[in-house]
Chains A and B, each alone.
Chain A
Amino acid sequence: MAASASASAARPLAGDSLTIHVSSRPQLAMVSALPRSSPPTWRLGLGRPARLSTRSPHARSVRCLAAGGGLAPEMRATLDKVVASHKVVLFMKGTKDFPQCGFSHTVVQILRSLDVPFETLDVLANEALRQGLKDYSSWPTFPQLYIDGEFFGGCDITVEAYKSGELQETLEKAMCS
């Protein structure tokens, strides 16, 4: 996978070189904490997320990271910021207004119908982001929905949770936190 690599190969993914088109600007204030010019001096222990962020303690990392060993630390740190930058973040194919895939479209429709503010990122516009997210979330497909900094699921899970009311509950909780 593209994101697996030695420190030097990982550098193109480092913080500010990763162009991410978000539907509105994420707060990138904390990105300055990223090691920008110096190569990473630390390596990830197997599967444990490196938490650079000093953000709220409930900005939990993804639960299942056992398979995420191939992710460059910079990419992980960047994604930590991105998923925490908004209450609801959807990584999808295409954009809110022009989804490029039926599954992505479905999740956009659900979020719209619930009248919840959400940000989207187009993984088709950024191959590094697309590959990095698969490792980061330990999830092989898109869309990927993050609520309150935590991976919620893909299309099937979102649809099922929408039907059962669990999605609404989770969103409500996130909005109040």
Chain B
Amino acid sequence: MGVTKEDVETAITSSLSPSHLVVTDTSGGCGASYEIEVVSEKFEGKRLLERHRMVNTALAPHMAEIHAVSIKKVLTPAQAQPQPEPAADKAQA
């Protein structure tokens, strides 16, 4: 059994307490591929690489079953504010 979208959301929510989270299943249903957007205060002062590592760490227990994770956005609340959410449009498309 693959990893569900909810599994991914729960894992990220519990370790990063995001203020905004979009998990998109891009696997076509088999649960092996996800796109992720996260906004969290915990990214404050962290470089992009470190932010990605934090997300990877959160997902570590599931990684064996996930084939691909694409981390599209890792933003702090402050960074997420000024942009009128061009990313959000895409995610909903």
Binding site for B on A (CB under 8 A): 63-64, 67, 103, 138-141, 151-157, 160-161
Contacts and interface: CB of A to CB of B under 8 A. Distances in A.
Contacts of B70: 103, 155-156
30 contacts: A63-B49, A64-B50, A64-B53, A67-B57, A103-B68, A103-B70, A139-B53, A139-B56, A140-B56, A140-B59, A140-B60, A140-B63, A141-B63, A141-B68, A141-B69, A151-B49, A153-B48, A153-B49, A153-B52, A154-B52, A155-B70, A156-B52, A156-B70, A156-B71, A156-B72, A157-B48, A157-B49, A157-B52, A160-B48, A161-B48
B28 to A, nearest CB: 14
Contacts of A152: 49
The range of chain B's interface size is 10 to 19
Interface of B: 48-50, 52-53, 56-57, 59-60, 63, 68-72
Contacts of A157: 48-49, 52
A140 B56 CA distance: 7
The list of the 7 closest CB pairs from A to B, nearest first, reads A140-B63, A156-B71, A153-B49, A140-B56, A157-B48, A156-B70, A157-B52
A153 B53 CA distance: 10
A138 B53 contact: yes
A151 B68 CA distance: 19
A27 B70 CA distance: 34
Given A139-B56, A152-B49, A153-B49, 11 more contacts: A64-B50, A67-B57, A103-B68, A138-B53, A139-B53, A140-B56, A140-B60, A140-B63, A141-B63, A153-B52, A160-B48
Contacts of A138: 53
